[in-house]
Amino acid sequence: MHYIPNTDEDRREMLQAIGLASMDELFSDIPPQVRVKAALKLPAALSELELLEHARQLGAENANIDDYVCFRGAGAYDHFIPSVVRQIVSRAEFYTSYTPYQAEISQGTLQAIYEYQTLICQLTGMDVSNASMYDGASALAEAVLMSCRITGRDRLLLSQTLHPEYRQVVRTYLQGMSVETLEIPYTSGLTDLDWLRKELDDRAAAVVVQHPNFFGLLEEMNEISQIAHRVGALFVVSVDPISLGILQPPGAYGADIAVGEGQALGNEICFGGPYLGFFATREQFVRNMPGRLVGATTDSEGRRGFVLTLQTREQHIRRAKATSNICSNESLNALAAAVYLTTLGKEGLRKVALLCLRKAHYAWREIAKLNGFPPLFSGTFFKEFSVNCPTSPQKINQVLLKQRIIGGLGLKKFYPEHQNGLLVCVTEKRTKEQIDEFVEVLSETGEQQ
Amino acid sequence: MHYIPNTDEDRREMLQAIGLASMDELFSDIPPQVRVKAALKLPAALSELELLEHARQLGAENANIDDYVCFRGAGAYDHFIPSVVRQIVSRAEFYTSYTPYQAEISQGTLQAIYEYQTLICQLTGMDVSNASMYDGASALAEAVLMSCRITGRDRLLLSQTLHPEYRQVVRTYLQGMSVETLEIPYTSGLTDLDWLRKELDDRAAAVVVQHPNFFGLLEEMNEISQIAHRVGALFVVSVDPISLGILQPPGAYGADIAVGEGQALGNEICFGGPYLGFFATREQFVRNMPGRLVGATTDSEGRRGFVLTLQTREQHIRRAKATSNICSNESLNALAAAVYLTTLGKEGLRKVALLCLRKAHYAWREIAKLNGFPPLFSGTFFKEFSVNCPTSPQKINQVLLKQRIIGGLGLKKFYPEHQNGLLVCVTEKRTKEQIDEFVEVLSETGEQQ
Amino acid sequence: MKERLVFEIGKKGKVGVSLPRCDVPEEEPERLIPEQHLRKDLPLPELSEPEIVRHFTRLSQLNCGVDTGLYPLGSCTMKYNPKVNEEIASLAGLTRLHPYQPEELCQGALRLMYELGEYLAQIGGMDAVTLQPAAGAHGELTGMLIIRAYFLSKAQKRHQVIIPDSAHGTNPASAALCGYQAIEVKSDERGCVDVVELNKLVDEDVAAIMLTNPNTLGLFEENILEIADIVHRAGGLLYCDGANLNALLGVARPGDMGFDLLHFNLHKTFSTPHGGGGPGSGPLGVKRTLAPFLPVPLVVKQGKRYLLDYNCPLSIGKVRSFYGNFGVLIKAYAYLLSLGPEGLRQVAENAVLNANYLVKRLKDHYHLPYDRICKHEFVLSGARQKKRGIRALDIAKRLIDCGFHPPTIYFPLIVNEALMIEPTETESRQTLDRFAEALIKIAQEDAETLKSAPHHTSVGRLDEVAAARKPNLRWKE
Amino acid sequence: MKERLVFEIGKKGKVGVSLPRCDVPEEEPERLIPEQHLRKDLPLPELSEPEIVRHFTRLSQLNCGVDTGLYPLGSCTMKYNPKVNEEIASLAGLTRLHPYQPEELCQGALRLMYELGEYLAQIGGMDAVTLQPAAGAHGELTGMLIIRAYFLSKAQKRHQVIIPDSAHGTNPASAALCGYQAIEVKSDERGCVDVVELNKLVDEDVAAIMLTNPNTLGLFEENILEIADIVHRAGGLLYCDGANLNALLGVARPGDMGFDLLHFNLHKTFSTPHGGGGPGSGPLGVKRTLAPFLPVPLVVKQGKRYLLDYNCPLSIGKVRSFYGNFGVLIKAYAYLLSLGPEGLRQVAENAVLNANYLVKRLKDHYHLPYDRICKHEFVLSGARQKKRGIRALDIAKRLIDCGFHPPTIYFPLIVNEALMIEPTETESRQTLDRFAEALIKIAQEDAETLKSAPHHTSVGRLDEVAAARKPNLRWKE
Ligand SMILES: Cc1ncc(COP(=O)(O)O)c(C=O)c1O
Ligand SMILES: Cc1ncc(COP(=O)(O)O)c(C=O)c1O
């Protein structure tokens, strides 16, 4: 085994040193009846060359979005990733290390996380950020749990315009808690504020809204924030970090906890993971936060250094009373996000957001010109929008696939009320030419009706 | 420009500090009449995303040998490269550094080269190796020049079974020297020893032979060595490093200078470059060697360290009298070779050589069974062999291409006397299945005759 | 050499990347989005590409990883991460996939997931596997929720989960997160669950026992069959925290020992890199009776096609978006294929051999609280050294001076001044010898040398108390 | 921390990679190859993959590169190497190509080469370009051979090549390699070719003058038009060593100054990495009259097809196998495309600005032999410090303690205790300021501190004399 450095001779000598006669004796403490007798039923070992070939073949059985043009989003986005990001996260010192428990030889990871925390604060306009959560959905679940802890209340209001999978994850996380979850209906694709005003009272721990929402629309965040705060509920928001290149940050509209999916920040789309849940809140709630935190401090000579801090919140100290059970998080993805945000920077992220905005609107306008693809909602959107198709989106997507286009997401997967709804995403990577071709194929499918 | 860190403000302040009013003044020493007036005729800048897309498109205009099955060799080989090699040579500390003039902060490169030199000596059975030459062909040219320097003689004998491009390079390098070059004819695909015995005399600086030779055949190295040495000529050999996994090393048959193309040692085939000329010789000739050398020494505390040494041979000290004009060499390729040889190791390189040997022989036998593809020569071969086709190899290769197979090299490119000769290469990467398909297609083309 | 913060390097006007020009009409954002939605300022740093690369490259150099040296962090299985796996996990055909692209266009990815699930089930002795959890603790949460759903389906309300005092903190935290009361069971003098005490604790209110096996002392729970019997007889379930599975690969299967659930740590046992703290992956395997409760979707095979099955009415739902940390799964899959069944067993054998060899070399120099054959790791105590005022922390920091990453310290909690050492199978005997020699040397060193360690790092010992008292969690101008 | 040699780590029985099983008949080699051809022993090291990766990773950490810090090595243009170029140069579509695959199957590669040649010609003011030479010195050799062939074609035998005393060592070495006598021309007090002396040297036996412009002092050859005139009038040619072209990009073109040949250093001017000493690439551009002598093959365009043209009866032949360092060409091509014409000029401007700024900051502290506007680099002299027994070498080594790679020292030969500093355009003003401060501090430091430097490296100053006296060029058991 080329991954194992010991030689037969080593093994012999080591066994001898230990005072054992055979490898089997190393396992003498395992009851004989549960020891594996025959070899496990696993495929025979492949050599590196065969393994690579096998992996390439598996890859060839997928349509990858370098070869296909992707107009699908819905929580996983085909944004541009600068080479620099890939270069840095493939530094062995970063990716072969673990949680920086030993600060003095982990200053690289620690400082990078401290920078990440700061960047997330700058992006969201919040006071503090943790070192990462598993993904956007579980980050939202943790935010909801945290708002229950803070308020001591046991009722939650989730907008139905939240990503359906996120709602599902929140509900799953709450199964063991005695917390009641209400879903806020939507009207014209937006969280129904009238309903909210009516139903919300001081039993609510939090009002939870996504912005832009699942349909791509901008919610009335200022308004919702006021409604929530009026009854002492926390305002928990899930935001698209790329949209923050031009949109008001959660801190500006009074969000108490801002989370979101950080995949778009320099992380590969990768069939859904590993992704990055970012998590930011107000200073006053810091000791209620889940997850790791890195803080700055000094050594005996007064030099600045970074350490894991406020660990008494965490499971390895507080155990059953911890603010979360999270241990390994998504550190390398957070590093990617830090490199991404640094590389894009002030101007770059704004530019990317503007490109998304303009291209999405261009596509929207061109599609609106077609027969039979009216917008599903009239609200303001950022990079995603919903249209109504003249036929089932599945059929339309089949036609698009022949042109190597992965079309929008059929909304009926999550919203049976929109049988022919199609959620289209246009990122900065889509060229006018690609959009025009997409629209062209759409128009052809329209005509076939 | 994102590669330039200075901001407009920096530039302004720096100009001011220098005491200049404008950027143009920085170039006031250039005669106005030769200053570029209009912008150069170059394509407008591409963004990173566009650049990547453009590069992918260029790539798509090529047939790459991940997608095609390659039976072509002739000096550039599709051998397996372990991932470890790519991983190490992409370490920024290695690839963004330069010649280790400042030993104390270049111990990484220096030690790696020292290891490379040792590995080349172990592989070739020679006493000393330099730090690399441009490629196999130029290494051979340097070897020939060195043998003239050592012997003080001015006649060279090059076997016609040497790679034709290598012969051409040697001749080009010798254009400014008054050295006479004779080509040793071949018989049955092998250097004609009778001719050699007859024509060789004490005017000869060196006898130069490739092993295995261009046709893939093993030469009688012991015999040629004796013939050369009998008249005091040096025996200069060009060898396939992979073949040395099982073949006698040059040191064993008395070679005075052993060179070769090191591409096969972990370097990408990459359309012909960058490659790696390895260069090894006997201890007694070390001060006549071209190229860089790394040696071990100690610091004031007795710690071992590595430095560039015997630099008085080199152009930056000896200038017009240097042993070569080489300055930048192929250091990163040498590093790749060092990692490759270490990774394959004693057992691995032998295995690779055996796989080549057996697969080539399997292919040879299967082809021999066909009608119309007799072997061109009867000699012993390693991983390449020559056959005679029933029609022009070009036509046959066209058919193979349709099955995504890049067939052998038509010999007539270099040997007009073998109009229908085909030089086939089979490396360890070719599977039985691929070989069988290759033979199958060959047989079909044969039947079409 | 210290490195400034990106915020201290950046300067107005620098750019780090070039972006495409806009090829559609360049409308002002105000025309597309009402002004109140638009932000006024975006206070991100501004740096050029060379500065960015240099900054993060230098930061990396302030880090240690498995690729730079022994990293014997107990309980974390810091084994070598094969390079070919990194390469495979960056192939466009496997990474440039949208999670919602049609099933017929991701058959390769689904096949990979399906097969990995099968292999893990085989290795753990389980019947069904979900790949969704993002890490070990996430797997625990998933497992606890499944246990809850299982009892709910049987209309049973059980409130307790028994967890040994040696357990990892995530165990009680995960149980609590599902509303369970975490009940601690003591360890006996051999370092295993005290069966007598356990017998007293187990009753109809116990939903499950959560065991790590081998446990966090690196010891195999010798009485596992008896424990299983006790818990099962009371109608409870056995959950296995598989963090330490490296010791058992191909040798023994938790499923055969009576465990009903088992999470795998792909980033530990299956060689995927730890990434400075993640991403990991924590697939959960369960016995047949629990399979209906697994999160959706499951990857299933129909004929030659692979499908995502959402039709699981009893499912607990989802614990995260999409299907799991696919990029991590690729690496674990590649690892398993490169090992094969024989290689797998060699992993366990050599991991256990290395640990026992180190015990042998060290036990005369440090107190060894449980002196018996260990599995893949072991726990020393700095009790002897403590008499001279030396703490486990000091020993750990001093190891840094010797070129080694310290072991895990102060865990498990039941060992005084614990030093928890896990060498893994990817270390050579030579390295172990050098590590042992360093620890032996340190065992004799004076308190002063140790307390001022580490001596050659970019910063000395950092003031953690100050960090927690007045938290500085972000840079500000 | 030192690192042992692979030979000291290896041990019998370890393996570093797994290879495919043989799927064809496993005949004994003795049956296929006569025994006398077979080697008895292959004395290569034996290591496992983890050990190999760790060894070379650690070695890398004993190195400095542009990515880790300022690398102001004069004459070498150690600029930042854009990461996207590395990625492009590893695309299978561009790298997995056999050089002899049919032209119709490598149109993308040929197009890249064709276009790069065109761009270089445009930048240098040349008419035709070969991409074949593997480095600058190789380009020089090619150029000298072309000059030789050119005069031969005119039946002229010229024997001399004039080269300034400030020239790089490769210039005389390349001339000599082609059988030319290298004649040195002195520099004048402004650091340029002494035109009066040149006039005396030039006659009908002079084949060419080889100039570096800007020269190795970083100074533009102000009298270049006069020099061109002198040489051309005597029937000689002008060769430009383009190592310093970074200063002129988009600002001035050697071809317009009268140069007939010009080699480019893609690894300097065009940002391809230096790889620890190579691979580089040294394309050669020539004026129309010399084009027929270029090496074969040339990449030509016919309609929309790209071809390799071997039909060049006057060609000097080949200077290496195949077509050049294609992998390096890819990166230079990508670089040019990412710059565009404006970016190209900005490179030159900022490179020159940075150099002049540093001169300004340093000239009060070190002797500046030629005090005038410089181009992309400049040469200080340690003459003042030498009076205190301090040598340029000591200053260089002391810079290492300050976190900087030293400049080139003792070159050019005409400056006493030369310190040749080239910051390049990819360094920020902030870095230049810190570098200047370090050098200013060093200028005042005592001899002892400097002579014992560097102080924090894995080895101290090494005994080069011993290394050369008793060469140890390889490990032996
Ligand atoms: C025994 C044990 N259980 C659980 C965990 C948690 O696993 P993860 O960090 O993957 O969430 C760990 C992590 O160190 C562990 O050692
Ligand atoms: C002025 C000058 N000429 C020529 C060369 C040789 O170039 P190369 O190293 O690419 O062969 C150099 C290299 O440093 C140089 O600085």
- Domain ranges, ordered by start, for chain C: 6-60, 83-339, 347-466
What is Dmax (Cα atoms) for chain A?
A: 83
Asked whether residue A187 is domain-assigned, the answer is yes
CB A325 within 8 A of CB C137: yes
CB C369 within 8 A of CB C379: yes
Distance from CA of B21 to the nearest CA of D (A): 12
Best probe residue, ligand 2, of D165, D265, D379 (max atoms within 8 Å of C-beta): D265
Mean pLDDT throughout D337-359? 98
Distance of CA B394 to the CA centre of its chain: 26
Q: Tokens representing A396? A: 């339309």
DSSP C271: -
Mean pLDDT throughout D82-100? 98
Distance from CA of B232 to the nearest CA of C (A): 49
Q: How many residues make up chain D in this entry?
A: 477
Mean pLDDT throughout B362-376? 96
Q: Tokens representing C386? A: 């403590």
| Residue A417, C-beta contacts closer than 8 angstroms, at least 6 positions apart | none
Tell me the chain A residues in contact with residue C400 when contact means C-beta distances shorter than 8 Å: 102, 104-105
Atom 7 in ligand 1: residue holding the nearest Cα: C136
pLDDT the model gives residue B319: 87
Say if the Cβ atoms of A135 and C274 lie within 8 Å.
no
pLDDT at A51 over 90: yes
From the CB of C282, is ligand 1 less than 6 Å away? yes
Residues A218 and A332 reside in one and the same domain: yes
Place of tokens 């992006």: A123
Q: How far is the CA of D135 from the centre of ligand 2 (A)?
A: 8
- The HSE-up count of residue B182 (CA atoms within 13 Å, CB side) is 20
Give me the number of domains chain B comprises. 2
Three-state helix/strand/coil letters over B348-386: HHHHHHHHHHHHHHHHHHHHHHCCCCCECCCCCECCEEE
| pLDDT level of residue A316 (50, 70, 90 thresholds) | confident
Q: Tokens representing D338? A: 């990412």
CA distances to A137, A434, D104 from A257, in Å: 14, 38, 59
Say if the Cβ atoms of D86 and A83 lie within 8 Å.
yes
Q: How far is the CA of C242 from the centre of ligand 1 (A)?
A: 9
Tell me the chain D residues in contact with residue B328 when contact means C-beta distances shorter than 8 Å: 135-137, 267, 274, 277-280
Residues A175 and A313 reside in one and the same domain: yes
Please name which of B224, B120, B216, B199 lies closest in space to residue B163, comparing C-alpha atoms.
B216
Tell me the chain A residues in contact with residue B91 when contact means C-beta distances shorter than 8 Å: 92
Residues B317 and B432 reside in one and the same domain: no
Q: How many residues make up chain B in this entry?
A: 449
Atom 9 in ligand 2: residue holding the nearest Cα: B328
Tell me the chain B residues in contact with residue D343 when contact means C-beta distances shorter than 8 Å: 1, 3, 45
B135 interfaces chain D, CB cutoff of 8 Å: yes
pLDDT at D291 over 90: yes
Phi, psi of C468 (to 5 degrees): -80, -30
Tell me the chain A residues in contact with residue D82 when contact means C-beta distances shorter than 8 Å: 83
pLDDT the model gives residue C1: 64
User: Torsion angle, CA of C143/C145/C146/C148, rounded to 10 degrees?
Assistant: 130
| Residue C331, C-beta contacts closer than 8 angstroms, at least 6 positions apart | C81, C85, C86, C88, C89, C266, C270, C271, C272, C273
Q: Describe the crossing of helices D429-444 and D326-362 by its angle, rounded to 10 degrees.
A: 60
Taking the CB of residue C425, how many other CB atoms lie within 10 A of it?
27
Three-state helix/strand/coil letters over B273-290: CCCCEEEEECHHHHHHCC
pLDDT the model gives residue B448: 61
Distance from CA of A59 to the nearest CA of B (A): 13
Q: How far is the CA of D412 from the centre of ligand 2 (A)?
A: 12
Asked whether residue B17 is domain-assigned, the answer is no
Q: Which residues of chain C have pLDDT under 50?
A: none
pLDDT at A106 over 80: yes
Mean pLDDT throughout D381-396? 96
C61 interfaces chain A, CB cutoff of 8 Å: yes
* pLDDT, averaged across chain B: 97
CATH, range C83-339: 3.40.640.10
Residues B162 and B283 reside in one and the same domain: yes
**Cα nearest neighbour of D12 on chain B:** B346
- Domain range for B422 is 69-80+346-447
Distance CA B186, CA B207 (A): 14
pLDDT the model gives residue A398: 96
**A48: nearest CB among B56, B66, B82:** B82
Asked whether residue B50 is domain-assigned, the answer is no
**Reported pTM:** 0.98
**B80: nearest CB among A49, A82, A91:** A49
| pLDDT level of residue B191 (50, 70, 90 thresholds) | very high
CA dihedral over A357, A358, A363, A364, signed as positive or negative: positive
> For residue A87, what is the domain's CATH number?
3.40.640.10
pLDDT the model gives residue C303: 97
Q: Tokens representing D307? A: 């071809």
**Strand boundaries in B185-241, DSSP class E:** 186-187, 190-191, 204-211, 234-239
Three-state helix/strand/coil letters over chain A: CCCCCCCHHHHHHHHHHHCCCCHHHHHCCCCHHHECCCCCCCCCCCCHHHHHHHHHHHHHCECCCCCCEECCCCCCCCCCCCHHHHHHHCCHHHHCCCCCCCHHHEHHHHHHHHHHHHHHHHHHCCCEECCCECCHHHHHHHHHHHHHHHHCCCEEEEECCCCHHHHHHHHHHCCCCCCEEEEECEECCEECHHHHHHHCCCCEEEEEEEECCCCCECCCHHHHHHHHHHCCCEEEEEECCCHHHCECCHHHHCCCEEEEECCCCCCCCHHHCCCCEEEEECHHHHHHCCCCCEEEEEECCCCEEEEECCHHHCHHHHHHHCCCCCCCCCHHHHHHHHHHHHHHHHHHHHHHHHHHHHHHHHHHHHHHHCCCCCECCCCCECCEEEEECCCCHHHHHHHHHHCCEECCEEHHHCCCCCCCEEEEECCCCCCHHHHHHHHHHHHHHHHHC
Q: How far is the CA of D319 from the centre of ligand 2 (A)?
A: 17
pLDDT at B101 over 70: yes
Q: Tokens representing C132? A: 């969704």
| pLDDT level of residue B449 (50, 70, 90 thresholds) | low
Residues A266 and A323 reside in one and the same domain: yes
Pocket of ligand 2 (CB under 6 A): B 327-328; D 75-76, 135-137, 168, 170, 212, 216, 241, 243, 265, 280, 282
pLDDT at A302 over 90: yes
Tell me the chain D residues in contact with residue A83 when contact means C-beta distances shorter than 8 Å: 82-84, 86-87
Q: Is B398 exposed, middle or buried (0-12, 13-18, 19+ CB in 10 A)?
A: middle
Distance from CA of C261 to the nearest CA of A (A): 16
| pLDDT level of residue A448 (50, 70, 90 thresholds) | low
Please report which ligand is nearest the Cα atom of C244: 1
**C53: nearest CB among D50, D53, D83:** D83
Residues A147 and A230 reside in one and the same domain: yes
D255 interfaces chain B, CB cutoff of 8 Å: no
Asked whether residue A27 is domain-assigned, the answer is no
Asked whether residue A58 is domain-assigned, the answer is no
Q: How far is the CA of A2 from the centre of ligand 2 (A)?
A: 42
> For residue A379, what is the domain's CATH number?
3.90.1150.10
Helix (H, G, I), strand (E, B) or coil at D321: coil
Residues B397 and B283 reside in one and the same domain: no
Q: How far is the CA of D397 from the centre of ligand 1 (A)?
A: 47
Which of A287, A321, A340 corresponds to the end of one domain? A340
Distance CA A349, CA A228 (A): 30
Residues B336 and B372 reside in one and the same domain: no
Atom 8 in ligand 2: residue holding the nearest Cα: D136
Architecture of domain D347-466: Alpha-Beta Complex (3.90)
| Residue C293, C-beta contacts closer than 8 angstroms, at least 6 positions apart | C145, C146, C149, C150, C153, C286, C314, C315, C316
* pLDDT, averaged across chain D: 97
D119 interfaces chain B, CB cutoff of 8 Å: yes
CB burial readout C208-230, b (16+ within 10 A) else e: bbbbbbbbbbbbbbbbbebbbeb
Residues B93 and B217 reside in one and the same domain: yes
From the CB of C168, is ligand 1 less than 6 Å away? yes
Distance of CA A331 to the CA centre of its chain: 13
Asked whether residue B186 is domain-assigned, the answer is yes
Asked whether residue A286 is domain-assigned, the answer is yes
C96 interfaces chain B, CB cutoff of 8 Å: no
Find which of C245, C318, C335, C364 to mutate to test the A interface (most A CBs within 10 Å of its CB). C318
From the CB of C418, is ligand 1 less than 6 Å away? no
Q: Name the residue type at position B359.
A: K
Distance of CA D30 to the CA centre of its chain: 47
pLDDT at A447 over 80: no
Mean pLDDT throughout B378-398? 96
Please report which ligand is nearest the Cα atom of D78: 2
Residues A93 and A203 reside in one and the same domain: yes
CA distances to A208, A254, B64, B397, C310 from D106, in Å: 56, 59, 8, 15, 47
CA distances to C401, C463, C470, D404 from A303, in Å: 19, 10, 17, 21
D interface with C, Cβ–Cβ < 8 A, is 1, 9, 11, 18, 48-51, 53-54, 57-58, 61, 66-69, 80, 82-83, 338, 403, 426-428, 430
Asked whether residue A2 is domain-assigned, the answer is no
**Cα nearest neighbour of A84 on chain B:** B48
Which of B309, B340, B371 corresponds to the end of one domain? B340
Distance CA A112, CA A109 (A): 5
CB D62 within 8 A of CB B111: yes
Find which of C23, C63, C83 to mutate to test the B interface (most B CBs within 10 Å of its CB). C83
CB D366 within 8 A of CB D153: no
| Residue B70, C-beta contacts closer than 8 angstroms, at least 6 positions apart | B78, B406, B425, D98, D101
Find which of A1, A2, A3, A81 to mutate to test the D interface (most D CBs within 10 Å of its CB). A2
Distance CA D11, CA C433 (A): 15
Say if the Cβ atoms of A95 and C65 lie within 8 Å.
yes
pLDDT the model gives residue B180: 96
Which of A340, A367, A385 corresponds to the end of one domain? A340
Taking the CB of residue A131, how many other CB atoms lie within 10 A of it?
30
Mean pLDDT throughout B401-417? 97
Mean pLDDT throughout A150-155? 97
Q: How far is the CA of D358 from the centre of ligand 1 (A)?
A: 53
pLDDT the model gives residue A449: 53
Distance CA B272, CA B261 (A): 11
Residues A324 and A361 reside in one and the same domain: no
Q: How far is the CA of D366 from the centre of ligand 2 (A)?
A: 26
From the CB of C135, is ligand 1 less than 6 Å away? yes
CB burial readout D272-296, b (16+ within 10 A) else e: bbbbbbbbbbbbbbbbeebbbbbbb
What region does D47 belong to: left with phi over 0, alpha with psi -120 to 50, or beta?
beta
Percent of chain A with pLDDT over 90: 96
* Interstrand relation of B277-281 and B128-129 (parallel, antiparallel or unpaired): antiparallel
CB A224 within 8 A of CB A184: no
Q: Describe the crossing of helices D136-153 and D170-177 by its angle, rounded to 10 degrees.
A: 40
Residues B327 and B396 reside in one and the same domain: no
Tell me the chain D residues in contact with residue A3 when contact means C-beta distances shorter than 8 Å: 48-50
Distance from CA of C240 to the nearest CA of A (A): 15
pLDDT the model gives residue A320: 87
Q: How many residues make up chain C in this entry?
A: 477
Place of tokens 């004609």: B192
Chain A, 158 to 217: residues with Cβ < 8 Å from chain C are 163, 165-166, 168-169, 171-173, 175-178
